[in-house]
Amino acid sequence: MKEIYPKRNLKIYTVEDIEDLLNRRNLVSIIKQKPIKRAAKFAKEHLPSVSFAVLMTIFLLTYLQLTLMIILLSLPLMVKMPT
C-alpha cells in the first residue's frame, strides 16, 4: 500500500472502550457551540418540522386571542341592567 499511496499517513489506535476514544483529542474533535448557533443548526436540519411547529403556535395563539376577544365583547350583553 505504501508503494501505491506514498503520502498516506494512516495511524491505527487501539480503543478498549468509548471513554478511551473520547479522551483522545487528536481522534475526536469536541467543540462547544453557542446555544443560538446550535438552535439555528437544528432548525436548518429540521426545517419542515420547525416551520410546522411555528405555524401551529401562531394559529393557536391567534385562536386563543380571538376567543378571548369574543368572550370579553359578549360580557356586557350577559349582564342584566337593573331597572
Query: Which residue in 29, 30, 50 sits closest to 40, CA to CA?
Result: 50
Q: Collapse the DSSP code of 47 into the 3-class scheme (helix H, G, I; strand E, B; otherwise coil) and give the result.
A: helix
Which has the higher per-residue pLDDT, 1 or 62? 62
C-alpha span between 21 and 26 (Å, rounded) = 10
pLDDT digits (tens, 9 = 90+) for 2-39: 788 888 887 777 878 888 777 776 666 678 889 999 99
pLDDT digits (tens, 9 = 90+) for 55-83: 999 999 999 999 999 888 887 766 666 66
Dihedral (CA of 54, 60, 64, 67) sign: positive
pTM of the predicted structure, to 2 decimals? 0.50
For 38, the grid coordinates are: 446550535
